[in-house]
Amino acid sequence: MYEELTWLFFGLLTFGFITEKILEFLNASYYSKPIPSVFRDYFPDDNQNKNLNYKNEKFKYSLINSSFSFLLTLVFWFFGGFGIFMEEVKLISESEIVRTLLFFGSIGLFSSLLSLPFTWYYHFVLEEKYGFNKMNQKIFWLDQLKSGLIALILGGGIISLVVWVYESVPNDFWWIVWIILSLFMVLMTAFYAQIIVPLFNKQTELEDGELKESIENMAVKLGFQLDHVYVMDGSKRSSKANAYFTGLGKQKRIVLYDTLINDLETSEILAVLAHEVGHYKHKHTLYNIIFGLMQTGLMLYIMSLFIAPDSSISMLLNQVVAQNILLSETHFFLGIIGFTIIYTPISMILGVIMNILSRKFEYQADGYASRYGLGKDLQMSLIKLSKNSLSNMHPHPAYVFVNYSHPPLIDRCEYIEKQMS
């Protein structure tokens, strides 16, 4: 059984990697397709050539980066890397909580250090070459430090609580942890913009003027109580523009990147905001929370079947992850590694389902803005944003189906056109 499970692990890891690469190669085969005729007036030849070069370079970067990560994972596992880390943390402490923190902390630090050159290259070579990167070295390294500290504090706290529950009430582990994680997810959805975002970006109230007045008038027209519109200094890191709706109840807010304000006309910004209001009106944030909680509950329930303390399946799972190291007891952290691999197919299927729902939500939000007479402006805003960010204008349908959370530009523009007719 040990040998069969080892091959299953290898097969699942390989399946995930190969599936991802096949989809990326299919997508890359569409790069040279001519731009849809409806967009040719908006995308001159020099922009199309730049777009093609950018996509090709990103594809090569992704291929090298993901291949390195895949091969490193296989080598690390086959040569007993997880087992070696386990032996080291067992020497340091007898507490399973401390061992788990040290194990995942060490693995995370090891992985981060190895991926750091790729991250640096992406921002300061690839994105810099095409004029997107606006970060300096200080911002980059501070971001890495802050992200690490957040992972240490929040991640470490949650892991400690989860392991404590696992040890205290193993038979009721999954539903108690589900409640804990559900509360955390809801709180983060409500307060993410107030707690996490300020650690990286400044958010300031939109200044009085024509834009703010137009937004307030539009909010009244849409019947949307808009207490705050914030502008975020996204330009300190990238020239790419964005806007998003976040929060729940009285904590809800719309955030505009300063790059969005610079790139779009007032009427186009209003169309983008109407799209975001559409998400709120259709309760997409609430649905996403519900779907996320359902996924988490399903994952935890299945996980509880595989990692019950010292059960035969848990011991086998631990043994396969540790590779060639004889175990006298099971360890929570080894069980999590093994379960994550086994859960890969379910995770992929759920990811596809969530992307299908997300694309549906985007259409609904586009339709909402269109019904209020902002369809043309929304189309123009999408075209401008796609042009400025060198987005893929002709993605492969299979790649879209699996990976796209937003519909391609041509599909969105056609949908908006139908809503206006």
- The CA-atom distances, in angstroms, between 319 and each of 106, 260, 265, 326 are 20, 52, 60, 7
Helices (H), 226-343: 258-263, 266-281, 284-306, 312-322, 332-342
- Bridge partners (DSSP) of residue 245 are 254
The residues carrying an active-site annotation are: 276, 366
Question: Residues 379, 413: contact at Cβ < 8 Å?
Answer: yes
Please say whether the beta carbons of 120 and 135 come within 8 A: no
Q: Cβ(333)–Cβ(309) under 8 Å?
A: no
Alpha carbons 49 and 52: distance in angstroms, whole number: 5
Burial 189-225 (b: 16+ CB within 10 A, else e): bbeebeeebeebbebeebeeeebeeebeebbeebebe
Tokens at 7, concatenated = 């091959």
CA 364 to chain CA centroid, Å, is 21
Distance CA 331, CA 314 (A): 9
Question: What are the structure tokens assigned to 357, written together?
Answer: 């729902």
Burial class (CB in 10 A: 0-12, 13-18, 19+), 274: buried
